[in-house]
Amino acid sequence: MSLEGKYNTKSPAVKRLMREAQELHEATNEYHACPLDDNLFEWHFTVRGPPSTEFESGVYHGRITLPAEYPMKPPNIILLTPNGRFEVQKKLCLSISGHHPETWQPSWSIRTALLALIAFMPTPGNGTIGSLDYSAEERQKLAKKSSTWKCDICGRIDNLLANAEQTSRTKSNTQAEEHRLNSSSVQFQGTASSITEATLSTSSVDISLNEGLRQRLIDSQRQVNSSSAQRKNSVANSEQLTVQSFNNFFWRIIIIILMLGIIFLSIRRLFLV
C-alpha cells in the first residue's frame, strides 16, 4: 500500500511530510533523508560531517521521528552512527529537537533540522542530554570508521550521499525551500532572554549553512546549554540547602535534649538533697 493510500492526505502533517519527502527525494553532497516505506512519521537521514572539523571525513546516519502535530511540534532526532559528539540511540537535546519545543518554528523543516545538526556537531556538549565530549583524535577515528557503518534498513551509508556533480542537478528541486528559508526569519526564544533573529540562508548550490547562521545556531544552543546548566545548579543548590537545613535541625534537637537532660538532673539533685 502506498503512503497516499495509508494516510489521510487532508491531514496537515501528512500533506507537509509528503511535500518534504518529494523535495528531499534526491540526495545532496551534505545530506539525505527519506521516510520509511511503511511509516511516514519516521525518517532515516544521512549527513556529512562539517568541513574543517574533526568530523570532516565522517558520514553519520540517524532517525527522525515526527509527532502527529508536525510541523507545529518539533521532531525528535536520534543518531545511530558512533561519532563522539552525540550519544547513539538517544534523543538529542538541541534547540531544533523535541527537547525544546519553545524554540521550534513551524516554518522549519526536516531540511532545516539536518542543516542545524551539521552546524551543532563541532560545538561543545556542555553536559546536555545526549551529548559527548570525546577528544578530537577520538572523533577523527570514529569519522574514518563511519564510512563502513551499515544501517539494517538503509544499508551502507557512504552510498547514500551524492557527489558534488550530482548535487548540482538537485538545485531545481530546492527553489521553493530556498525561498521559504530566505524569506522567513528564525527567532530562538531562550528562557532568560530573546535571542537575535536570524535568517536561514541556502544561497549555495549545496545548501550549506552560511557562517552567520551557523554562529547564531551555535549561540542558540549555548543559550539552551546555559539554561540547562543553571537548572542543574539550582537543583544542586536546593538539595544542598535542604541537607544543611536538616543538619541544623538535627543538631538543634540534640542540643535541646542535652539541655533538658541537664535541667532534669539538676532538679533531681535538688530534691535528693
Domains in the chain: ranges and CATH: 3-173 (3.10.110.10)
- The torsion angles phi and psi of 68, rounded to 5 degrees, stand at -65, -20
Is the pLDDT at 251 greater than 60? The verdict is yes
pLDDT of residue 187: 36
pLDDT of 102 over the 80 cut: yes
Task: Answer for the pair 205, 168: CB distance below 8 angstroms, yes or no.
Answer: yes
Give pTM, 2 decimals.
0.65
Beta bridge partners of 31: 47
pLDDT band at 210 (very low <50, low <70, confident <90, very high): very low
Joined grid coordinates for residue 53: 572539523
Over range 128-145, report the average pLDDT.
93
Residue of 67, 54, 78, 214 whose CA lies nearest to 144: 54
At residue 202, the pLDDT reads 35
> Catalytic residue among 34, 93, 151, 154, which?
93
Q: Check pLDDT > 60 for residue 256.
A: yes
Note whether 120 and 225 are within 8 A (CB). Answer: no
Structure confidence at residue 248 as a pLDDT band (50, 70, 90): confident
Q: What pLDDT band is residue 40 in, cutting at 50, 70 and 90?
A: very high
Residues 6+ apart with CB under 8 A from 229: 126, 127
93 included as an active-site residue: yes
